[in-house]
Amino acid sequence: MTSVPGAPQRPQRIRRQSVDGLGFSRTELLTVGILVAGLVLFGYADLHERFDAEHGAWRAGAEDSYVWLFAIVRALPILWCRRHPIVAFAATLAGSAFAGAALASVVGTPLPWSVWPWSPSSQLCVLAALVVAGLEVGRQRSIEMATAYFLLTLFLQSVRPGYSFALSIGSVIGGSALAIGCVELLHDRRDARQALAVQEERTETERTRRTLLEERARIGRELHDVVAHHMSLIAVQAETAPFRITGQSPETEAEFRAISSVTREALNDMRTLLGLLRADSEQAPTAPQPRLADVPALVREAGAEWDASGDLDDVPPLVGLTAYRVVQESLSNARRHARGADVSVRVTRTDEEVRIEVRNEPSPEPPMLGPELDPELGAAAGHGIAGMRERVTLVHGELDAGPTANDGFAVTAVLPLETEA
């Protein structure tokens, strides 16, 4: 049975569905995959141009394979920046340094826009890895990774001087600052999206809880109408008994008066509780509560197929009201979610129980929106299966609702005629 918690539960943290053990969602994997492929292609073009710029340094064949290898080794570790951010960043940094060392050993003189040991494509690979890994490790670790990038540049500058020191250090510092700024912006965007998702989940939880509470309040009001009728009858019979039955002792008359008094007090208490359940702006319904015998008219009005067996009149009021509401909500759901589909309602009454079956075929038309719903059929709309389950459980019955083999939907309720007190 669907339960209503005493307080809204704290939503769980949003989890990403990883793909192939890399930790990325499908959309993220596609984005990172395109980034890595672009870095590989740009890296090949960049290194190819720089190797070929020195006369005699470039020869077709084996050297072309080395350029591809350098381009792939630098960019490929970015795919593991979510699972192993520190290791993946270190691998990208080492691959870029190795590619720079190979380039410097072949090209004798500095090329335009050359920053030892980083070519433009190497710097892009390092900064891209810093951004992707930084999203996982946070600001502090991102700064530490950028510091390692800076210190490695200083070390390699001291090992092989001759390139512009100011240009090298300036590009590293500027690129690192830009990457960390991107990390912060992406962090804020992701946090905002997660906060929105959590808020939407809380809102949906609270909406569900409020809906169930409203349905329970409605059940309470209807139960009051059913029970109040019987209690009023008890009070009237207890008051009139001394006049209808002569020759009673004073003790018996006093007992009847006590029964009448207690019954009226109970009715007053029930009305007080009902006032707490009803909203201030809600008007008390004046129409009598529906019965099982009213179901055929409801089904015909909905245009559904009707089949019944057994006496539908002599049914306890609460069971009849529950049966009516189950059929009403089932027809409402069929109207909303299976518009234009054939719907059948079958009610079978035996000496022990009332069995209700509401089935609809697959819908040939799109679902109907809530505002378009017939108000007569949709009186219980918005409560759904949870509300029906609440009602059926109240009379110790059973409810089964779910899709059928032909993609339709079926609701089956069994309501016992004799329930435990």
Specify the pLDDT at position 37. 92
For residue 117, cis peptide bond before it (omega within 30 degrees of 0): yes
The stretch 214-228 carries a mean pLDDT of 70
Task: Please state which of the ranges 44-53, 306-315, 339-348 shows the lowest mean pLDDT.
Answer: 44-53
The stretch 334-343 carries a mean pLDDT of 82
Task: Please state which of the ranges 167-171, 219-223, 396-400 shows the lowest mean pLDDT.
Answer: 219-223
Residue 306 has pLDDT above 70, yes or no: yes
Query: pLDDT tens digits for 377-390?
Result: 333 434 578 778 88
In the predicted model, what is the mean pLDDT of the chain? 77
Cα–Cα dist 211/378, whole Å: 15
Residue 320 has pLDDT above 70, yes or no: yes
**Domain extents in the chain:** 26-163, 212-277, 292-416
Specify the pLDDT at position 201. 84
Task: Please state which of the ranges 47-56, 162-171, 209-218, 370-379 shows the lowest mean pLDDT.
Answer: 370-379
More confident position, 67 or 272:
67
Cα–Cα dist 288/275, whole Å: 18
Residue 362 has pLDDT above 50, yes or no: yes
Specify the pLDDT at position 380. 40
Specify the pLDDT at position 378. 39
Residue 366 has pLDDT above 50, yes or no: yes
277-283 LR contacts (CB < 8 Å, sep 24+): 277/217, 277/220, 277/221, 278/217, 278/221
Residue 305 has pLDDT above 60, yes or no: yes
Residue 357 has pLDDT above 90, yes or no: yes
Which residue intervals of 285-404 are DSSP H helices? 295-302, 317-337, 384-394
Specify the pLDDT at position 369. 46
Query: pLDDT tens digits for 99-150?
Result: 877 776 665 555 554 556 778 888 899 999 999 998 888 888 889 999 999 8
Residue 18 has pLDDT above 60, yes or no: no
> b/e per residue, 151-174, with b = 16+ CB within 10 A?
ebbeebbeeeeebeeeebeebbee
The stretch 372-381 carries a mean pLDDT of 40
Per-residue confidence band for 224, with pLDDT thresholds at 50, 70 and 90: low
More confident position, 18 or 257:
257
Query: pLDDT tens digits for 72-110?
Result: 988 999 998 888 899 999 999 988 888 877 776 665 555
Residue 191 has pLDDT above 80, yes or no: yes
Residue 84: count other Cβ atoms within 10 Å of its Cβ: 16
Q: Which tokens belong to 219?
A: 């059940």
* CATH code, residues 292-416: 3.30.565.10
Specify the pLDDT at position 250. 83
Contact 205/175 with Cβ under 8 angstroms? no
